[in-house]
């Protein structure tokens, strides 16, 4: 999981931001922010503790996504608009320019389900899987990171300039 090394410090800021965002009265938004925060924490702590991909996959959650889908929640409520170049910090995410939060969450959910299924198909481990699990995990991580960055964009209060005349 060397790919996460350079990203750990900024992720801590995103996790703190998502914790603050989860203080909302909208139940689905709250659950989705908490789930995204927790999944980013799984990656961060998994890297620090050198945890196997099998354990990481077991710890990843998408229950809030499934519940929101079941209740017909509009994922665009998490963040309106489309992902723009200014939201992209990693080149691999350039393909998501023009996507909205709903489409990105769908891809995140799809990858979590796919990883859990690959693990099940290989007797409870991805060790011998023919899929490129490290690449799949890094893509999932960077999608989650992009979603958090996108949600955070525009949320920071601009610092006021004080001009002395």
The residue count for the chain: 165
- Domain annotation covers residue 134: yes
Phi, psi at 12, each rounded to 5°: -60, -40
- Domain annotation covers residue 161: no
Residue ranges, the chain, pLDDT below 70:
1-10, 155-165
- Domain annotation covers residue 143: yes
pLDDT at 3: 47
- Domain annotation covers residue 1: no
| Structural domain total, the chain | 1
pLDDT at 84: 94
**Chain position carrying tokens 């209740």:** 71
pLDDT at 119: 98
Here the contacts of 45-51 (C-beta below 8 Å, separation 24 or greater) are: 46/1, 47/1, 47/4, 47/5, 47/8, 48/8, 50/1
- Are 142 and 90 a contacting pair, CB within 8 Å? yes
Domain boundaries, position 139:
7-152
DSSP 8-state symbol, 126 = S
pLDDT tens readout for residues 81-124: 999 999 988 888 999 999 999 999 999 999 999 999 999 999 99
Neighbour-count burial of 122, counting CB atoms closer than 10 A to its CB (0-12 exposed, 13-18 middle, 19+ buried)? middle
- Domain annotation covers residue 93: yes
How far from each other are the two terminal CA atoms of the chain, in whole angstroms?
53
- Domain annotation covers residue 165: no
- Domain annotation covers residue 2: no
- Domain annotation covers residue 164: no
């Amino acid at each position: 999981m060397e790919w996460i090394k350079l990203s750990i410090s900024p992720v801590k800021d995103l996790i703190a931001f998502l914790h603050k965002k989860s203080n909302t009265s909208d139940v689905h938004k709250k659950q989705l922010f908490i789930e995204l925060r927790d999944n980013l924490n799984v990656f961060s702590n998994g890297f620090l503790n050198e945890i196997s991909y099998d354990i990481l996959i077991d710890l990843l959650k998408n229950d809030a996504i499934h519940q929101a889908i079941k209740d017909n929640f509009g994922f665009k409520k998490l963040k309106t608009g489309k992902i723009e170049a200014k939201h992209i910090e990693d080149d691999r995410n350039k393909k998501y320019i023009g996507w909205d939060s709903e489409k990105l969450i769908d891809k995140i959910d799809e990858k979590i389900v796919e990883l859990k299924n690959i693990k099940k198909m290989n007797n409870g481990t991805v060790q011998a899987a023919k899929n490129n699990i490290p690449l799949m995990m890094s893509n999932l991580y960077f999608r989650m990171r992009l979603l958090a960055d996108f949600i955070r964009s525009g949320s920071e209060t601009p610092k006021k300039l004080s001009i002395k005349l």
